[in-house]
Chain A
Amino acid sequence: MAQSTLIEAVTDALRHEMRNDDRVVVFGEDVGKKGGVFGATTGIQEEFGDQRCFDTPLSECGIIGAAVGMAVYGIRPIAEIQFLDFIYPAFDQIVSEAAKMRYRSGGEYTCPMVIRTPYGGGIRGGHYHSQSSEAYFCHTPGLKVVIPSTPADAKGLLISSIRDEDPVMFLEPKRSYRSVKGEVPEGEHVVPLGKGRVVREGTDVTVVAYGAMVPVAEKAAEAMQQQGKSVEIIDPRSLVPLDEELILESVRKTGRCVSVYEAPKTCGFGAEIAAIVAEKAIGHLEGPVVRVAGFDTPFPYALEHLYMPDVRRVVAGIEKTFNW
């Protein structure tokens, strides 16, 4: 197995599926010759030609509307949105069209497509290159929402997303694109949607984290280890469908739960995790379920380091489950 970065794993998955299935096409702003602003589609147009990998006009509404039409007609579009922050012109197409096509047509028409987009903070991007708005999409029935945290998962989950028969929002933690490296199986590698991963086993407290929050949670777990507290980390990997059982099993064992997410705290996906734990594992809890999240402010620029959950804040959150 070769070591690669998370973004190289994304490219690997695209190439693998484009070789595997000639219905798959990749398009978006600057994805052709340039290979995308982060380089995720590097070499794709070169290998597959400009019919299967092409640049689009600068219109998210057009990119996603066209993708819906393509999927309905029967090819497999993978649309890249340059930053999740820019997706809103396409919101109508995502929530009113892609998400509802199967249901509203009684299953006559379906919309198997992937929207790939980098999300999240930690790159000094200010308001419009940093947001983590996965909750909007999790709140829309009919969409799957997938967020990898490691290169191997990025590859395996993206391949599953492309093969899925329903629309998938594939959110890539841009902060981890090059900072997270790991071994990635060559060739076929599938990670099913809806199956979480135990990142680290522990016995005293469960931390649920996804995307770029996983490495932060790991560092916090190391710090807690010094204090003699054993932290288990669960990465759900797909938020929809969610592997509730894995989370609940862990919380039933540890009796404590901290939910970490970098989105604004109120109504973030981590709040859903807290609600599930409260609803289904209350008898096992030995302390409050704690959310460690971004703040209910627009994403800041100069004070980004204070906004993002970091080791200090995750540690404080974990401690709160013991001392309340």
Chain B
Amino acid sequence: MSSTELLTIIEKDGRAAKDKDPNLSDAELKRLYATMLAARIMDERALALQRQGRIGFYLQALGQEASHVGSAAALRDSDWFFPAYRQPGIPILRGVSFDDLANEWYGNDVDTSKGRQMPVHYSFRSANFVSISSPIGTQITQAAGAGMAARIRGDDTVFMTYFGDGGTSSNDFHSGLNFAGVYKAPVVFVCENNQWAISVPLKGQTASETIAAKAAAYGMPGIRVDGNDVLAVYRVCKEAVERARKGDGPTLVETVTYRMGSHSSSDDAARYRDEAEWESWKQRDPLQRFQRYLTKRGLWSQDWEDERAAAIKEELNAAIKRAEARPKPPLASLFEDVFMNPTPQLREQQRQLESLEGPEADDIGEFPL
């Protein structure tokens, strides 16, 4: 494993070299697959909701399921995530319900983030999944800081933070890796190199031969792994997590993958991407790849998949139905959580809004992003 070689475990035909296979239990393997499948089904369904005008926006992770599910599975439940916006499988893996996910898309009154953010900017304290923001890379320095805090407190928590190839150009990438390196913070930096930052390809983002190579400048290992190979991602991250937990410091993991969908529901990748490139990555689909491995181990069959998919869809559709039926958050929640206690100015602004008579303005959220 190095910063230029690409670690792969699952071969095209589904075989895995015995010395490389992380030897996960049957139950764990099936759990990983089921999580990836759920993430994919949820992404498809949610994008359809957006196209139907039922939710305002969506960001898919199509094609990147192995990258984020494989890495997240390397952590303990007590470990923390500082995520970006393309890891839907992580909350699913950590047991967050479809209800909680769908409530966020609708920004309804039971959304964990109280309807304060646009879809896919989740916050799930129950899963140690820190609130997502839109500015690129800001979570990277935060993960470094949280890692520094854990060391100061003497906790053995490990932090995993996610960003894309575009994120490596941010100030926070440099600052975060630099801080983590200097303080040996227990952080695994997962760069999901999906080749595209909206419409800008990797070569327009960096002249570096690989992203993993950047780790050398921060005094940490940089490892390049096949991001569509869930076992390879798991293994590399497991080793990185163990190093972090032992006090040996951070690792930069570059998962080489591909954004199969557009950047978001507002984007159309066909306008700037080559069809042949997309086709070649389609051949490397992470779910199909994992299926072949599971089949060889007698853990996968079409019937099992169909049964799982049907159960996921049923559960998801019921959650969507419930989320859609909920009201918006109450007026007061507009003014809550700015501070722990509202300032006199906030209280006055709330009173002024509440005292208005006549009909409220129409919902202005009609502009398609």
Contacts and interface: CB of A to CB of B under 8 A. Distances in A.
B125 interface: yes
A91 B130 CA distance: 20
Contacts of A102: 337-340
B178 A59 contact: yes
Contacts of A57: 175, 178-179, 182
Given A97-B133, A241-B343, A61 B116 contact: no
Interface stretch (B139-147, B204-212, B245-253): B139-147
Interface stretch (A6-14, A36-44, A70-78): A70-78
Interface stretch (A107-115, A121-129, A254-262): A107-115
Interface size range on A against B: 35 or more
Interface stretch (B84-92, B148-156, B306-314, B353-361): B148-156
A222 B146 CA distance: 51
6 contacts: A51-B152, A65-B172, A67-B145, A72-B146, A109-B125, A194-B344
Given A61-B141, A105-B123, 13 more contacts: A57-B175, A57-B182, A66-B148, A69-B146, A69-B148, A72-B130, A92-B171, A101-B131, A102-B340, A142-B339, A240-B343, A241-B344, A242-B343
Contacts of A187: none
A91 to B, nearest CB: 10
Interface stretch (B106-114, B191-199, B320-328): B106-114
B163 to A, nearest CB: 13
Contacts of B265: none
Contacts of A161: none
B37 to A, nearest CB: 28
Q: Report which residue of A62, A64, A96, A101 has the largest number of chain B beta carbons within 10 angstroms of its beta carbon.
A: A62
Given A73-B150, A104-B116, A106-B116, A68 B142 contact: yes
A66 B145 contact: yes
Given A25-B152, A96-B135, A69 B340 contact: no
Given A57-B179, A59-B175, A93-B141, A70 B149 contact: yes
Nearest to A109: B131
A74 to B, nearest CB: 7
A166 B340 contact: yes
B152 A108 contact: no
B117 interface: yes
A72 to B, nearest CB: 6
Question: Which among B114, B117, B131 has the greatest number of chain A C-beta atoms within 10 A?
Answer: B131
A144 B341 CA distance: 12
A298 interface: no
Contacts of A77: 145, 149
Contacts of B119: none
Pairs A-B, 9 closest by C-beta atoms: A65-B141, A69-B145, A66-B145, A62-B175, A69-B142, A105-B131, A241-B343, A105-B123, A106-B114
A174 interface: no
Nearest to A55: B182
B23 to A, nearest CB: 33
A24 to B, nearest CB: 11
B36 to A, nearest CB: 26
A97 B121 CA distance: 13
A80 B111 CA distance: 36
A56 interface: yes
Contacts of B144: 62, 65-66, 69
Contacts of B176: 62, 65-66
- For B117, B121, B339, the residue with the greatest tally of chain A CB atoms inside 10 Å of its CB is B339
A68 B336 contact: no
Given A57-B182, A166-B340, A194-B343, A69 B171 contact: no
B138 interface: yes
A236 to B, nearest CB: 12
A24 B198 CA distance: 41
Interface in A73-105: 73-75, 77, 89, 92-93, 96-97, 100-105
B111 A244 contact: no
A241 B143 CA distance: 30
Contacts of B123: 104-106, 108-109
A81 B135 CA distance: 22
B146 A70 contact: yes
Contacts of B130: 72, 105, 109
A62 B116 contact: no
Nearest to B144: A66
Nearest to B187: A69
Which of A57, A70, A100, A144 has the most chain B CB atoms inside 10 A of its CB?
A70
B337 A103 contact: yes
A244 B345 contact: yes
Nearest to A96: B135
A73 B159 CA distance: 10
A72 B80 CA distance: 11
B138 A92 contact: yes
Contacts of A100: 133
B82 interface: yes
Given A57-B179, A101-B131, A142-B339, A106 B171 contact: no
